[in-house]
Amino acid sequence: MKSFCIKTNNQEIIQYLLKNLETSSLENIYFINRKFKHYENVIIHYKGNTQNKFFVFLADLLADCILFYYEPIFIQKLLHFHYFYFDDFERKLIEQNCYQQILLEEDPNLKYRREEIWAHALPYIQECKSMVLDGFVTFRLETYQHTLEELVDTAVNEYVIEKEYTEFIHLLKIYIDSKEPISSLVHLVYTNGESILLNEEKNIISLDDSIFHAKYLSDISFSSNDYALNALLTLLPKKIEIHLIGYEDEFIHTLKQIFGNRIFLCTDCNICRTYRVLNNVHP
């Protein structure tokens, strides 16, 4: 007979372990829950002949348990220790983003983190007769914790980028609302991720010269969309007709956020049909 004892005072974890042991398909296992001096103990006995199956079962059980109960605790600690300069509300938003990521079953990082825990749990179970769960998680899962730190760092970076993007949009909206429209109408033809601007007479507006007045663009690189945005902020049209030769993407979404009710989407007019033919795009 092979026995193993898991020690913890977390009642939720105890109930989780007992429930999974009760519903296990592994035969010849018996378990009890006993309170000793310092810990509640979940003691599992295996009377079967294939000990390796028992070890793998326990490693699976512990890996899933740690992922579910300890990852939120680690995330909170990492945010408070490394990112104390965010206020409580910001840390809560980042924390929620982390939870959304760690609960995605299709996330390949989830499988990797589980494998890291499992790889440490299996030899421990084979060599030892008991485990203080808090101690094992704290002192035996260093590489797993580093992986979780990277996940939190990624969530923080995404939050900072999103925050800067939101502030950028907000500033541009304030600028637009504070100015009177300079032109009545500008057409924006959008195809293959590239922008073409047309004036009211449907003549192409040159974007090359707008670089000399580019107060709102990155100083690293320029695309036709960068030029188009800068030109629109310079011309401040009362109405912007966007002719979609394809699908709406992040750039169009950004324009809608910046210019609001000045934006009108079009997918089937003379301009749309002309550029669809020119770009060999089928409706």
Residues with Cβ within 8 Å of residue 262, at least 6 apart in sequence: 237, 238, 239, 240
Question: What tokens were used for 281?
Answer: 């795009």
Q: Name the pTM for this structure.
A: 0.73
Q: What is the DSSP string of 9-75?
A: --HHHHHHHHHHHHT---SSEEEEEEE-SSSEEEEEEE-SS-HHHHHHHHHHHHHHHHHHHTHHHHH
Provide the 3-class DSSP secondary structure of residue 221. Answer: coil
Q: Show the DSSP H helices in 128-141 as ranges.
A: 133-140
Find the domain containing 107 and state its range: 2-171
Q: Within this chain, do residues 252 and 150 fall inside the same structural domain, yes or no?
A: no
Question: What tokens were used for 185?
Answer: 């109408």
Q: Within this chain, do residues 162 and 226 fall inside the same structural domain, yes or no?
A: no
* Average of per-residue pLDDT across 58-62: 97
* Average of per-residue pLDDT across 25-44: 93
Q: For all residues of the chain together, what is the average pLDDT? A: 89
Q: Within this chain, do residues 98 and 210 fall inside the same structural domain, yes or no?
A: no
Q: Within this chain, do residues 126 and 200 fall inside the same structural domain, yes or no?
A: no
What is the C-alpha separation between 252 and 263, in angstroms, rounded? Answer: 10
Tell me which of 137, 171, 205 is where a domain ends: 171
pLDDT tens per residue across span 89-131: 999 999 988 887 776 655 677 888 999 999 999 999 999 999 9
Q: Is the pLDDT of residue 213 over 60?
A: no
Residue owning tokens 């541009």: 172
Q: Is the pLDDT of residue 235 over 60?
A: yes
pLDDT tens per residue across span 149-187: 998 998 999 999 999 999 999 999 999 989 899 999 999
**95-101-107 Cα angle (round to 5):** 165
**pLDDT for the residue 99:** 82
* Average of per-residue pLDDT across 80-90: 92
Q: Within this chain, do residues 30 and 89 fall inside the same structural domain, yes or no?
A: yes
Q: Within this chain, do residues 84 and 156 fall inside the same structural domain, yes or no?
A: yes
Instruction: Name the domain count of the chain.
Output: 2
Q: Please answer whether residues 22 and 8 qualify as being in contact, where contact means their C-beta atoms are separated by less than 8 angstroms.
A: no
Q: Within this chain, do residues 166 and 191 fall inside the same structural domain, yes or no?
A: no
Q: Within this chain, do residues 205 and 185 fall inside the same structural domain, yes or no?
A: yes
Q: Please answer whether residues 168 and 218 qualify as being in contact, where contact means their C-beta atoms are separated by less than 8 angstroms.
A: no
Q: Is the pLDDT of residue 212 over 50?
A: no
